[in-house]
Chains A and B, each alone.
Chain A
Amino acid sequence: MSGDPKLERIAKGNALALCATGTWTASFAPVLERMVADAEKLAGTPQNIFIDVSEVAKLDTFGAWLIERLRRSLTQGTVEAQIAGLSANYSSLVDEVRRVRATPVVDSSTITITGMLEQIGRTVAGVAGTFAGLIDMLGAVLAAGFRVLIHPRSFRLTSTVHHMEQVCWRAVPIIVLITFLIGCIIAQQGIFHFRRFGADIFVVDMLGVLVLREIGVLLVAIMVAGRSGSAYTAELGSMKMREEIDALRTMGFDPIEVLVLPRMLALVLALPILAFLGAMAALYGGGLVAWLYGGVEPEAFLLRLRDAISIDHFIVGIVKAPVMAAVIGIVACVEGLAVQGSAESLGQHTTASVVKGIFFVIVMDGVFAIFFASIGM
């Protein structure tokens, strides 16, 4: 085996020879770098310098480059440092390395005030762009919807049914379970606090109004945004990355009609169904806790529920569901189609899809609350 690399200085009359020996390969790179840095300090001595590599046992790109780096830094003005004793095996490698231009790598990550201001400006413009993108997608989906109404044969029933299964049928267990638990918690908290005023029975009013008007649909919409919105974004995003969407377009298909419309329709149909099931599960859970924990008999619970709520409460809740579904779907599809080439971009847009979806769902809920309050429902 060949030994550790060395770089010895031998004076030969007027000239100085640097004798490289041992193994000049990547595994010795830290040692080699230090030796070369030491030797580079010789630059400026008015001597002819030779780099003798005849004793080098093994050379790879790392070693060859370090010798070349040494040669370059020792070359000054007219005095050029020479490499001597190069074996035929390695001469082509050294020639190859000699062609490398030493371009300093520009570090573009410096933080400046103008850079920060530019970043803020870009973010603000990005927010405006988000809204424009959502409205654009809404228009495109509606246009595709009208085209399908005119030519019903172009409607993709299989795809819609498939997505219905994914976002509706398969979501039922988790949605029912979570809303059931939430109903239980609301009832338990209500009874615990109302009992101090002897107003246990009013927990039924609170549960009924809260679940039917707000919690049922809001909670389900948030879960759907996390569950199906993210799936839509990831699906469309990876199709975009593999140029599948471009392929559709070149075959004369409209990606909005083929991919987005069935997904949107499935979501708009699924969310009211899920919201209804969720509300029922929450009422059931609340009723169960009221009975077992609060001692409210089921008959009394149902009687009180009938007095406390009207069909208006139910309508207020369920009307919101398709609108929220549309918002989630549009956000998810816009983000999916905005994915660029990298895996990182896919992750960012999927996150953005869920975050924006939930944000817009809550904003829409607020808008609805103001609207229903003004029309007295």
Chain B
Amino acid sequence: MAGEIQNPIIRVRDITVQFGATRVLDGLNLDVKRGEILGFVGPSGAGKSVLTRTIIGLVPKVAGSIEVFGVDLDSSSTSQRRNVERRWGVLFQQGALFSSLTVRQNIQFPMREYLRVSQRLMDEITMAKLTMVGLKPEVAERFPSELSGGMIKRVALARALSLDPDLVFLDEPTSGLDPIGAGDFDELVRTLQRTLGLTVFMVTHDLDSLYTACDRIAVLGNGKIIAAGSMADMQASQHPWLRQYFHGKRARAVMG
């Protein structure tokens, strides 16, 4: 337990991912520390989602190693891997809620698989999760097709959190939300990180999110991490893309 605190929660080493002839990630290294919110940025098409999906195990890699919670995902046994999967939650870009289940059933789905608890407790926990992500209990009986975009994101977050994971992956959580909704969402992620002691890996384009929610920022470019550090480090960086990103018109507007 004590060793785990020192070690990074995700350790990515020399990862290479290739689709056909195009090399998307090229010997990438990244550490995510326990309890931090890491904001992950980079130009469109740079491979941010690919890296997320590679860590989760949805995209095969050509070379490199990935350790999550100190478990090497390539050499782990099935039960070790299941144990890791039980401890992380994923929020997909489009929510990826099961369309034929209600919100309540969606949130209870992982609990039903992994835990043996009574229906009453599951219902109560579902209500607790819905309250945490800022939704009313009435939403529970609705189907995903009856929800707005922002509500889908919130329900998807509630589902990602349903087993009280130690680590959550958020793929563009605030895209498609209005600025107020996005601000609330950042606040929510912060609160949850504080209350549940979460580690958050967040792919985002939202400068506001980077300023308000993230402890550390990593920048992806040319298949590698160009820079990683605090907001101040990013602003001090001389890299041309970073200068454009953090000193552009929109960035200045955010900084006021």
- Chain A residues with a Cβ under 8 A of chain B: 1, 25-27, 29-30, 33, 60-62, 65-66, 69, 89, 92-93, 96-97, 99-103, 105, 108, 340-345
Contacts and interface: CB of A to CB of B under 8 A. Distances in A.
Given A30-B118, A100-B124, 16 more contacts: A26-B111, A26-B164, A29-B117, A33-B117, A60-B164, A61-B128, A65-B124, A92-B191, A93-B195, A93-B196, A96-B132, A96-B195, A99-B131, A102-B124, A105-B140, A343-B100
Contacts, number: 83
B1 interface: yes
A102 B121 contact: no
A188 B38 CA distance: 74
Contact of B145 (A1, A99, A103, A342): A342
A9 to B, nearest CB: 22
Contacts of B132: 61, 96
A62 B163 CA distance: 9
A99 B136 CA distance: 12
A102 B127 contact: yes
Contact of B164 (A25, A66, A99): A25
Interface of B: 1, 98-100, 104, 111, 115-118, 121, 123-125, 127-129, 131-132, 137, 140-141, 143-146, 161, 163-164, 191, 194-197
Contact of B163 (A26, A93, A105): A26
Contact of B115 (A29, A105, A342): A29
Main SS at interface, chain B:
helix
B196 A341 contact: no
B117 A92 contact: no
Contacts of A60: 164, 196
Contacts of A345: 100
Contacts of B127: 100-103
B37 to A, nearest CB: 16
A181 B250 CA distance: 70
B123 A62 contact: no
Contacts of A33: 117-118, 121
A343 to B, nearest CB: 5
Given A25-B164, A342-B100, A62 B125 contact: yes
A344 B195 contact: no
B70 to A, nearest CB: 15
A30 B117 contact: yes
B111 to A, nearest CB: 8
24 contacts: A27-B115, A30-B115, A33-B121, A61-B125, A61-B132, A62-B164, A65-B128, A92-B191, A92-B195, A93-B195, A97-B128, A100-B127, A100-B131, A101-B137, A103-B127, A103-B137, A105-B104, A105-B123, A340-B145, A341-B99, A341-B143, A341-B144, A342-B145, A344-B100
B121 A62 contact: yes
Contact of B196 (A29, A30, A61, A342): A61
Contacts of B141: 108
A172 B146 CA distance: 42
Contact of A65 (B115, B118, B125, B163): B125
Contacts of B164: 25-26, 60-62
Nearest 9 interchain pairs by C-beta: A341-B145, A344-B100, A342-B99, A60-B164, A93-B195, A29-B117, A92-B195, A100-B128, A103-B137
A343 B99 contact: yes
A101 B115 CA distance: 23
A186 B118 CA distance: 60
